Structure 1
Amino acid sequence: MTSVAARTGRTNEDFTGAVPTAAVLVDGAGIPGTESVCRHGVAWYAEQLCGRLLGLLSRTPDRGLTALLAEAIERVTDGHRDTCDVASTIGPSAMVAVLRVSDGLAEYLVLGDTALVLDRADGPPLVVSDPREVVISRPYRSALNAIPEGSDEYLRVLQDLRSHRNQPGGFWVARDDPRAADEAITGSCPVSELTRAALLSNGASRLVDEFGLADWPEVMTVLASSGPAEIIDRVRRAEARHAVPPDDATIAYCTGLGEA
């Protein structure tokens, strides 16, 4: 696992971890003003959600991933309901990716803008992603790029984008409502068909889906030969070259799946 903050001195709002049969990656999200409605902040929310999920995966291996995510969201929300405005549209939220190996199956869940890549022994990798936020945010991103970051207009456009969050026809993330878990993309495949897997935050997957500087087979090859840090180094060089603001970047790389 490798996780790198967007900039030196900035709090990393990504979290990842593993138990013997599962891996979890959580990518926290917030906007200026989040601290006015939640005294804990985005990093706290992401860390709590990741920890709760790992605990549930370890203790209740027979429950479905959607049910586990819903319970984790509910527990974290209950943990700051009395001190924070958990329903605020500018409160902390997170994207989630989960991989679990159980009874000969590799089960997966993706909610929000994260990526999960399953490398198959025969054929190209299976890439699991949730495109809804990317599709909805596309016209907003062009507007945001033309507005000074942090300005009143910038925040207005950003809040308008976030009004589509956890709404029918919008995009879905972990926040205060456990029912968002029902909108996650889930599935499974025989673990015997797989060799390895990777979970990536959108700050790491942008090497492929934003910059187009590699495809997923190449990413998996680099992970096998050089590890996650090399992919993140390539992302940082691409961000500098294209003058794109850096983002927290996290990768959890899992090997030996076919032997599980």
Structure 2
Amino acid sequence: MRVAMASVAARRAGRANEDFTGAVPSAAVLVDGAGIPGGESTCRHGVAWYAGRLGAGLLSLLSPVRDRGLARLLAEAIEQVTDEHRETCDVEDPISPSAAVAMLRLSGGRVEYLVLGDAFLVLDRVDGTPLVVSDLREVVISESYRPALEAAAEGEYLRILRDLRAHRNRPGGFWVAKDDPHAADEAITGSCPIAELTGAVLLSNGASRIVDRFGLADWPEVMAVLASSGPAEIIRRVRRAEERDAVAADDATIAYCTELGEP
């Protein structure tokens, strides 16, 4: 498998890129970290640290393992990174770091996939109809808070955002990687034969804006741009749309997988 990656930070003052992506010969991982201002009081390490440690942990577990499902591996990685900082940080606080996750693995002639949270995974099928894997639960709940967030002053904004984050990892809410490994059980998973695919792409929600926020392209068009110009071109178009519409930039990350075949 060949993987082309691009990741561009939002260039927010004092904030590192909170996305992570990486690959091993038979798997790719994307982690989209999440946090809010003031989160430093709950975790001294920060969102970028959490996303990086979770992503690195997933890659180390994926490298030698083929007999355990992706959800089980994600649960192990969540537990590992939580154990690394539970003695120094308030890992259970609603505003402590969390992340959306997308994973892809080649095994036994099939592509296995997992999505938890608002990341995207798109499988480019031979028949030209991409299979789009996403979890809309966070998007649906977030939309109900959007008017209040847009109208709120700074102090009230943080309170409302805390209320939104309190829906994480509970029935009726939405599910992300955070401190509870059981959240992995809520991930969207599946598989399909490698022979049915020409490629696949993992995107953070800062990159998927090209389709779901700005409507600059549909998924077949995105796959065509990736094939001709690579992931950096997708992010360039997103940044241009953010500037045009005065939309705050987000970290944008893409892992584009081609030549699907097991090593």
Residue of structure 1 aligned with 2:109, choices 104, 108, 121 = 104
TM superposition score normalised by structure 2: 0.96
**CA deviation vs aligned residue, 1:44-71 (integer Å, no higher than 9, x gap):** 0000000000000002222100000000
Identity %: 75
2:199 and 2:140 mapped to 1: Cα distance?
Answer: 29
2:150 counterpart of 1:184: no
> Is the aligned partner of 1:5 residue 2:9?
yes
Q: Is the 8 A contact 1:192 1:259 kept in 2?
A: no
* Residue from 159, 173, 178 that aligns with 2:176: 173
TM-fit CA distance, 1:123: 3.6
Q: What stretches of structure 1 of length at least 5 have no aligned partner?
A: none
Structure 2 counterpart of 1:51, one-letter code: A
**Which residue of 159, 163, 167 maps to 1:164?**
167
User: Of 74, 90, 93, which residue of structure 2 is paired with 1:88?
Assistant: 93
Inter-partner Cα distance in structure 1 for 2:123 and 2:191: 10
How many pairs are equivalent?
258
Q: Does 1:234 align with 2:237?
A: yes
CA distance in 2, matches of 1:139, 1:53: 33
Deviations 1:83-120 (A, max 9, x none): 11111111000000000010001000000000000000
| 8 Å CA contact 2:75, 2:181 repeated in 1 | yes
Which aligned runs of 4 or more in structure 1 are off by greater than 2 angstroms?
none
Which residue does the alignment assign to 2:228?
225
Give 3-state SS (helix, strand or coil) of 1:6's partner. Answer: coil
2:138 pairs with one of 133, 137, 160: 133
Q: 1:40 to 1:259 in 2, by over 3 A?
A: closer
Q: Which moved more, 1:200-209 or 1:60-69?
A: 60-69
**What is the rounded CA distance, in whole Å, between the counterparts of 2:74 and 2:200 in structure 1?**
20
Match of 1:249 among 249, 252, 258: 252
CA RMSD of aligned residues (A): 1.2
Q: Normalized against structure 1, the TM-score is what?
A: 0.97
The change in CA–CA distance for 1:169 and 1:120 in structure 2 (over 3 A counts) is same
**209-218 vs 136-145, which deviates more?**
136-145
Deviates more, 1:60-69 or 1:20-29: 60-69
Say whether the 8 Å CA contact 2:35–2:98 is kept in structure 1: yes
1:198 to 193, 197, 201: 201
Where structure 2 has 5 or more consecutive residues not aligned to the other structure, the ranges are none
User: 1:90 corresponds to which letter in structure 2?
Assistant: I
Rounded Cα–Cα distance in structure 1 between residues aligned with 2:61 and 2:95: 27
What SS does the corresponding residue of 1:168 show, helix, strand or coil?
coil
1:213: Cα distance to partner?
Answer: 1.0
SS at match of 1:202: coil
The answer to whether 1:57 aligns with 2:59 is: no
- Structure-2 separation of matches of 1:95 and 1:259: 26
Of 185, 206, 211, which aligns to 1:208?
211
Contact 1:192 1:258 in 2 (8 A): no
Matched residue SS, 1:247: coil
For the residue of structure 1 that corresponds to 2:208, the secondary structure is helix
The offset of 1:139, in angstroms, is 1.6
Deviation at 1:258, TM superposition (A): 6.2
Separation of aligned partners in 1, 2:127 and 2:64: 33
